[in-house]
Amino acid sequence: MNIMATEKIPALALDKEGQGKRALITGIRGFTGRYLAAQLSEAGYTVFGTVLPGEEADHVNTFPVDLRDSAAVAELVARVAPDVVAHLAGIAFVAATDAALFYEVNLIGTRHLLAALAALARPPQAVLLASSANVYGNTGREHIDESTPPAPANDYAVSKLAMEHMAHLWQDKLPITIARPFNYTGVGQELNFLLPKIVDHFRRQAPAIELGNLAIARDFSDVRMVAQAYRRLLAVAPAGQTVNVCSGQAYALETVLDMMSRIAGYPIQVAVNPAFVRQNDVLRLSGSNDKLLRIVGTLDIPPLDQTLRWMYSA
């Protein structure tokens, strides 16, 4: 379905925004990076990207870089001299056990990138930093908009909010937009994330599944919509703005299981494993996308059951 906004991005900006321009995506081989790279290539950008050290650089425009290495980051940025930057690289799995990595990569790594971009003779026209809706924590608001005070409840969220505060130090030098994506999913997401795990169990016709807190509800979006939103934010470059990226509708875990039961044609036995229940888990995240749609205009927002069918049949 298409969600309409009161303000639309000019057609010329979307049709020709990438012609003759260079885009840098950190974490280009990650879940989101692959989809955004396709979007930007389609828009006419020459796309460059970073991968983890040790990963094979399978494309001439792909470079292995450790964001914690400031000299390597500076060398890469100077070599690419990007017109637009989407900073997607980071530690994204909330349950990761090495808390220090959240801060080393999500905070310090981002600072290295911004310092390198600010040192360019010609700074980029747009810099998109991917933060997270997890910065809002547990809130009583039915729909969380950007005015909701942050209350991070885990190290991942704290690292992302710290990154946002640090980025404000560079606002006078770089056109930075901060995106706060809510949960999203799609083909290619790793199985340690909730929805891919559920879809995989149904695809394998598994009789049972172990999950954590069944009371959680999340605003699940389709990764293709998220990539589209990022592309348009890079085109408009609303510098200094913080923007939610979400569908605007939350789904309880029980609802997701019911959807998958209908798609797969059988009910699965669900057991709660206490090891999967986190004491500091955010119970409900439901976002408002009003600001996003005012900035970028129409977005294609597939309903969740359509996304699940896509994942199930992939």
- Residue 53's pLDDT band (cuts 50, 70, 90): confident
E strand or H helix at 35: helix 31-42
Q: If we measure between CA atoms, which residue out of 276, 285, 259 comes closest to residue 211? A: 276
- pLDDT mean across residues, the chain: 90
Q: Which residue has tokens 């930007």?
A: 40
Distance CA 223, CA 221 (A): 6
- Residue 13's pLDDT band (cuts 50, 70, 90): very low
Q: Which residue has tokens 């600072």?
A: 111
pLDDT of residue 188: 96
Q: By mean pLDDT, which of 49-53, 56-60, 61-65, 161-165 is the weakest?
A: 56-60
pLDDT of residue 9: 35
Q: Into which CATH architecture does domain 2-185+222-247+288-301 fall?
A: 3-Layer(aba) Sandwich (3.40)
pLDDT of residue 100: 86
E strand or H helix at 76: helix 70-80
* Type of residue found at 268: I
Coil, helix or strand for 110?
A: helix
Q: By mean pLDDT, which of 54-63, 131-140, 273-282, 305-314 is the weakest?
A: 273-282
Domain edges within the chain: 2-185+222-247+288-301
Q: If we measure between CA atoms, which residue out of 49, 48, 45, 38 comes closest to residue 17? A: 45
DSSP structure class, residue 192: T
Distance CA 282, CA 135 (A): 10
Most confidently modeled of 48-62, 63-77, 128-142? 63-77
